[in-house]
Chains A and B, each alone.
Chain A
Amino acid sequence: MNSAEAVLESLQRQGLSSLYPDRIRITVGRATCGLAAGADAVYQYIREEADRRRLDLQIVSTGCLGWCQQEPLVTVQAPGRPRLVYGRVDQALTGEILDGAGGGSFPESRLIGKIYADEVLLTGQRIFLTGEPESGPVLDQTSFYAPQLKVVTRNCGYIDPGSIAEYAARGGYRALWKALQAQPEQIIDEITASGLRGRGGGGYPTGRKWQATRRQPGDVKYVICNADEGDPGAYMDRSVLEGDPHTVLEGMIIGGYAIGARSGIIYVRSEYPLAVVRLQEAIGEANRVGALGKNIFGSGFDFQIEVVKGQGAFVCGEETAMIAAIEGKAGEPHPRPPYPSEAGLWGKPTCINNVETWANVPPIIMRGSGWFTGIGTESSKGTKVFALVGEISNNGLVEVPMGTTLRQVVVDAAGGAGRFALKAVQTGGPSGGCIPAGMFDLPVDYEALTGAGSIMGSGGMVVMDERTCMVDVARFFLSFTRDESCGKCMACREGTWQMLQILDRIAEGRAVMEDLELLERLALAVRDASLCGLGQTAPSPVLSTLRYFRDEYEAHIRDGFCPAGVCKGLFRLVIDQEACTGCGRCARVCQAEAVSVIGDVAGQETAKKYLVDQERCVQCRSCLDACAHRAVRVIPRGGAVVDAD
């Protein structure tokens, strides 16, 4: 056997014995989302308690399983039993779990699901944890996980991201070994045939980008991993880097080999300190086993990876600005062409792909392009990871096959639509647009989302319900892009500033109808005239809300009314006496003491009638959010007061 294969075999054996030990394995999700929810305390407590109780346990830190709403997430795997996944774990529950580990029974509360078998995606194998069916929820069948297919996030939350052995046990670095047996052109052909497109937002065919870089003359070329994830509410890349850094490295090494580069750079934002640590650990480990560095796996191919930390400018996610930043210059874009594939970092041909794109490479190489094209739609292959935030009950990361409908993501997985009707979903962050709830049957597909006036984008999804004002949404994103514009070009710098001025006027009830036309003309000009992608997409939130919610803009201007009840001064809150049950929650939550009793409900001694005192009301909407009966209504300023009688 070749020595590289021997190394991989030995790592795999080592990893399997650590993933499936003959003692109890407990994992704690310690990615940033978990830590924010208190996972560190849970982890420390488990360690100390296990010591105190003299329990022989394997206690492991992992990345995020995706269901961030349920953090801290803890899994417990006893030999011969399904893996138990617990959500919102606190000290008390930890104690109960350890009681189970000590020979008692494991708790049933906050058990969000059981895992009976592990799918090893890269090899197509299944590893069964038990043959014995048990009662209780199956994790894969829960509403959150049912629509998912984990390709990019296949290892997140399962393996210790610091263990190259656990990565190898799930097929890791096999794709690299396979790629090194092939000619670089064959790798590029495979990626091209897979139909993989850039996951950072643009959707440019990855194979074509690689080919363009390979074809350039010269023997110094670079690959860059764009990990400058900056869209508000989006954290797909962070989760992959924190949960499975090796898959990104492996993708980059394969890419470097295919393109003819010997050096790779990961540009990661410094707001992701844990991702930086994970990457640095992983680079060290990959070097140690010969998967990175000189003469990789004895193939004669040299490749090294360096981590460069970004300094907090959103625009550095734009590729030409990123290159400038890596070179130590101000992070400002320059006109393309020349494209980075022609003259990129230090003027050399450079291939830049996003984290998620790189992470797709090992599975494609291992399973083949035919497997990959079997997932997704005609023009969009594979899966996409989305970060779900907003008015939903399941915040978290989902990875779904392309072609999955927005409804399946936003309603089924995310658990949207509670008391208040869903209104829209914002995809693609500040570069994307709002898609109204009426269009939720739209599939997740590059062309479909673009056709609807939004974009796939990097994967942020902000779910909004009827309490959201679309003018306010446009204003929020515009204020973000205005602040993050580098300011180099007139269209973006002054265009975003001027658009925001107009939006401010509308939201404050100072606008005239002509402002709408001006806003639209300005938005189209900024879109077409801006120097880089930031400015070209900055008007999207404005254009898409104007497209689908123009009546809401018009109501602000014509009637001085914000129908969603967001823009201060452009609405009143009143209590609908028909719907009011007199429970009094509104009065209890009101900090301004503006909700008061005006009498008894006839025939009911305990129930009272309530009224909002418009003089005192500060329009914070606490009452609206608190009322379980939807009795708090938003009405125009001059509208008829719903009378107490």
Chain B
Amino acid sequence: MQIDINGRTIPVQAGQTVLDVAREEGIWIPTLCHHQGLEAYGACRLCLVETGSGDRGRIVASCALHVSDGLMVGTDSPRVREIREMIMQLHLAVAPDAPRVRELAQQLGVGQPVLARHGDGQCTLCGICVRVCRQVGANAIGFAFRGSRRQVTAPFGARAAGCLGCRACEESCPTGAIVFSESGGRLFGEHWQSDVPLSRCAVCGRAFAPQPLPGHLQQRYGLEFQQADRCPECRRQQAAASLTAQARYNLSP
């Protein structure tokens, strides 16, 4: 099976998306809501490409477009560029403060914002946080309201009771809109009022991991933790101490 991207013939395998193929081939397609560990979502509309040619050309999100033999794809046609520019302008209007958005705009040659500012300046509602949270199995956050009132929130706008404190949302957020902080033995996430107690190390007393996390990981993934009551540093020290003791024993005549 092969497809054609920008006039280049590329051998492909069934099941691949056009975005996957383009990335392997070093053909740049901008994305924001795409995440390797998650299913295609198609929300940011930045990865649009043109398929077919002439009047029959269609604009499709490449992240969700599976290859088929003989597929003709244009990632940089004038039509794609024009549409992408407007989509980038929409992103700039909602998230002008996000470095990733500004960087993408620059890469696309989109200069000054031309649309009215709308939104909190950082979140583009790409949904990665919601999807990652579901993937982790916490389902602590989701979308509420529709249209331009859409927002990411914990159920009923209350404190995110289901938050495990894993911080996968913060880690995967492309725009830096999610920030967690630790203080006084607790982990706080300001966006959905996460407030997760941290376990204290049985040895040194330092707060080191969200309390609900080990149990969840064990239950969901069958992961077993040795000495789960100690912080990584104390675990290392203890391991080192026991190795040293063992070595001494072995060396002793």
Using CB atoms, name the residue of chain B closest to A330: B143
Interface-located stretch among A116-124, A466-474, A483-491: A483-491
User: Judging by beta carbons under 8 Å apart, are B83 and A525 in contact?
Assistant: yes
User: Judging by beta carbons under 8 Å apart, are B86 and A489 in contact?
Assistant: no
In the bound complex, what is the Cα–Cα distance between A488 and B41 (angstroms)? Answer: 9
B45 within 8 A of A: yes
Q: Which residues of B contact A621 (CB under 8 A)?
A: none
Contact A494/B43 with A482-B148, A528-B59 known, Cβ cut-off 8 Å? no
User: Judging by beta carbons under 8 Å apart, are A488 and B43 in contact?
Assistant: yes
User: Judging by beta carbons under 8 Å apart, are A498 and B42 in contact?
Assistant: no
Using CB atoms, name the residue of chain B closest to A494: B90
A side interface size, CB within 8 A: 33
Q: Which residues of A contact B91 (CB under 8 A)?
A: 490
Choose among A485, A501, A521 the residue that contacts B86 (Cβ–Cβ < 8 A): A521
Contact A493/B42 with A525-B82, A525-B86 known, Cβ cut-off 8 Å? no
A337 within 8 A of B: yes
Top 6 A-B residue pairs of the complex, sorted by shortest distance between their CB atoms: A487-B150, A525-B86, A335-B64, A335-B42, A485-B147, A494-B90
User: Judging by beta carbons under 8 Å apart, are B45 and A489 in contact?
Assistant: yes
Q: Which residues of A contact B142 (CB under 8 A)?
A: 330
A360 to chain B, nearest CB (A): 29
In the bound complex, what is the Cα–Cα distance between A299 and B44 (angstroms)? Answer: 50
B141 within 8 A of A: no
A563 within 8 A of B: no
Contact A531/B82 with A495-B90, A498-B93 known, Cβ cut-off 8 Å? no
In the bound complex, what is the Cα–Cα distance between A521 and B115 (angstroms)? Answer: 12
Q: Which residues of B contact A493 (CB under 8 A)?
A: 125, 147-148, 150
Using CB atoms, name the residue of chain A closest to B94: A494
B118 within 8 A of A: yes
A548 within 8 A of B: no
Contact A498/B125 with A529-B83, A531-B45 known, Cβ cut-off 8 Å? no
A interface residue numbers (CB < 8 A to B): 313, 315, 330, 334-335, 337, 482-491, 493-498, 501, 518, 521-522, 524-526, 528-531
User: Judging by beta carbons under 8 Å apart, are A334 and B90 in contact?
Assistant: no
A603 to chain B, nearest CB (A): 58
Q: Which residues of B contact A498 (CB under 8 A)?
A: 90, 93, 115-116, 118
User: Judging by beta carbons under 8 Å apart, are A487 and B145 in contact?
Assistant: yes
Q: Which residues of B contact A330 (CB under 8 A)?
A: 142-143
In the bound complex, what is the Cα–Cα distance between A531 and B33 (angstroms)? Answer: 13
Residues of chain B from 43 to 71 with CB closer than 8 A to chain A in the complex: 43-46, 48, 59, 61, 64, 66
Counted as pairs of residues, one from A and one from B, with CB atoms less than 8 Å apart, the total is 103
Q: Which residues of A contact B79 (CB under 8 A)?
A: 528
B97 to chain A, nearest CB (A): 16
Interface of A is mostly: helix
In the bound complex, what is the Cα–Cα distance between A313 and B115 (angstroms)? Answer: 28
Using CB atoms, name the residue of chain B closest to A315: B146
B73 to chain A, nearest CB (A): 15
B87 within 8 A of A: yes
Q: Which residues of B contact A490 (CB under 8 A)?
A: 43-46, 87, 90-91, 94, 124-125
User: Judging by beta carbons under 8 Å apart, are B87 and A484 in contact?
Assistant: no
Contact A491/B149 with A335-B61, A498-B93 known, Cβ cut-off 8 Å? no
Q: Which residues of A contact B83 (CB under 8 A)?
A: 524-525, 528-529
B127 within 8 A of A: yes
Please name 14 further chain A to chain B contacts, defined as beta carbons within 8 Å, in addition to the given A482-B147, A485-B146, A490-B125, sorted by A numbering. Answer: A313-B146, A483-B147, A486-B146, A489-B44, A491-B87, A493-B147, A494-B94, A496-B148, A498-B93, A524-B82, A525-B87, A526-B86, A529-B83, A531-B45
Choose among A485, A494, A496, A531 the residue that contacts B61 (Cβ–Cβ < 8 A): A531
B114 within 8 A of A: yes
A451 to chain B, nearest CB (A): 13
In the bound complex, what is the Cα–Cα distance between A152 and B33 (angstroms)? Answer: 44
Using CB atoms, name the residue of chain B closest to A481: B147
Choose among B45, B127, B146, B147 the residue that contacts A530 (Cβ–Cβ < 8 A): B45
User: Judging by beta carbons under 8 Å apart, are A487 and B146 in contact?
Assistant: yes
User: Judging by beta carbons under 8 Å apart, are A485 and B45 in contact?
Assistant: no
B168 within 8 A of A: no
9 A/B residue pairs, CB under 8 Å, sorted by A: A483-B146, A487-B143, A487-B146, A490-B124, A498-B93, A518-B114, A529-B45, A529-B48, A531-B45
